[in-house]
Each structure stands twice: as C-alpha cells, then as structure tokens.
Amino acid sequence: MGVFSCEKMKKINYYYIPTVLQKIGYVLFFLSHHFFVHLEIKGKENFKNINGPIILAPNHTSELDVTIIPLLFPFFSKFFPIYFTTNSKEKYRKSLRFGWRSFFYGGVIFDLLGGSQIYSGYKNYSISLKNHTHHLKRGNTVCIFPEGSISLDGKLSRGHGGVGYLVHTTKAPVFPIAINTFYEMSWKKYFSRKDKVTITICPPMYKKDLIFTTAPKVEDFQLASRMVLEKISEVLKLKSKIS
C-alpha cells in the first residue's frame, strides 16, 4: 500500500501539478505578454499532424523565455505538460547572475512547475539527460535550450550536444524556436509597451536531418545542436558564434 501511494504521489507531482500550474501560468502570461510586448507567434502550423514526443529547442535570451513556451500551443493542447531542462538548486545558488532569485530556483519549486534536472559534471549524456530521455520515451514534451545558458551578449553561442543526443536516443522530432527577443528587457521596458516580441516555430528536424552516423560521438551530437541553432540564426538574422 505504501509503495502504491508513493508511486501515485509521483504521478500527481510530475504530471498533474505541472499541468495545472502551467495552465495557470498560460492564462497570466498570455494576457501579460500580448498586452505589454505585443507578442506574435508564427509557425504554429508546423505542429499540425505531429504527435508526441517532441523536443522544443529555443534560443535563450532571458529568464522570461520559459513563460513563452507554453503559449506556443492551444490551451488544451495534447503537448502539455512541458518538461523544461533545469540545473540543480546548488548550481543556481552559486551563480551571481540570479541574485536573490537563486534561493527560489531549482529543487521542488521547479519540479512542480515542470522542471527536469540535468545532472552536470558526469561528461556522459546518458546520465546528464536521463530524466529527459525518460520523459520523451513516455511520449512527453521536453524543452531544452541548445546553448545551455542565457545569452550574455544577445548572440547565439555554439551550444552543447544535448539536443543531438536526445534526437538520436529517442528519435523525437526537434522544433527550433526563434525568440526575438527578451534580451536585456528590463521590467521598466517591458511595461512601457513599446517593444514587440516575435516567436517563430521552425519546421521540425528529424534524426535523419541531424545525425549522419550509426555510432555518433560527442562531436556528432554537438554538430546536430549547431544545425538546430543555425535554423534559429537564419530566422533571427543574427550574427552568431555557432560556426
């Protein structure tokens, strides 16, 4: 009975609660983003006739990026909940970038919102991305930022191989998502209603488009991630450091 209850609680925590909280956030940010930054989302037709699992691969411009991702889908979309790649609570606390917010980042709070921790430091994708592989193999949606961190200069970085590994391991299609742009947007600028944020959903890329060997290595996964970022770069027409 105790084991059953434990498993049941896990399902509640890692499916129902993230779904409910993401739907609440959906309403709040739908209203906020459309009113204050004149949000426009292009390319929704690229999700037509697609079933899960899917990988969403946005460029990373701001902490606000995660508030945009659920808005790519209809409110009652089959792609909810979305599982986001996150760092450990300890890693957030060690970062000076997040300031006082680091005390709330990571851990249980992020888990309940749909966060899925990356286990860094092992130099082994099967360990680092075991949570995300699990979600995709269960038919769920995973959002992973190919660059691995928020841009410091507004340009696209070379990125890491995580996207390539997940595509190879799970055969899930990946959608490059171009966010233009929350970069360096202060709250004062946000509430001024002078800016427009455009999100472009690119056509899906498949394993055959990204992995060209039967026994890929780290550099092959990194190449796949760079190819995803190249698609984003084409949309944004940004100079980048991904070549």
For residue 197, which of 64, 28, 45 has the smallest C-alpha distance?
64
Identify the band that residue 100 occupies on the pLDDT scale cut at 50, 70 and 90: low
Do 47 and 73 meet the contact criterion of CB atoms below 8 Å apart? Answer: yes
User: How sure is the predictor about 139, in pLDDT bands with cuts at 50, 70 and 90?
Assistant: very high
Mean pLDDT for the stretch of residues 73-83: 96
Q: Can you give the C-alpha Rg of the chain in angstroms? A: 18
CA 77, chain centre distance (Å):
17
134 band by pLDDT with thresholds 50, 70 and 90: very high
Whether the Cβ atoms of residue 85 and residue 79 lie closer than 8 Å to each other = no
Q: What is the pLDDT of residues 174-202, one digit of tens each?
A: 999 999 878 878 888 899 998 899 999 99
Top CATH class, 2-236: alpha beta
Distance between CA 121 and CA 46 in Å, rounded? Answer: 35
pLDDT digits (tens, 9 = 90+) for 143-169: 999 998 887 777 888 789 999 999 999
Please indicate whether residue 12 or residue 218 has the higher confidence score (pLDDT). 218
Q: CB-side exposure of 59: number of CA atoms within 13 Å? A: 36
Q: Which residue has the tokens 């390319």?
A: 43
- C-beta separation of 134 from 118 below 8 A: no
State the virtual CA torsion across 189, 182, 83, 47 in degrees, nearest 10. Answer: 120
What are the pLDDT digits (tens) for 8-31?
Answer: 445 545 568 899 999 999 999 999
> Quick one: pLDDT at residue 157?
81
Domain spans of the chain, in order of start? 2-236
Would the pTM of this model clear 0.95, i.e. be above it?
A: no
CB within 8 Å of 29: residues ≥ 6 apart: 67, 68, 70, 71
Q: What is residue 164's predicted lDDT score, i.e. its pLDDT?
A: 96
d(CA 12, CA 63): 26
pLDDT tens profile 59-75: 998 888 999 999 999 99
Q: Give the pLDDT band (50/70/90) at residue 90.
A: confident
Q: Is 27 exposed, middle or buried (0-12, 13-18, 19+ CB in 10 A)?
A: exposed
Distance CA 132, CA 149 (A): 17
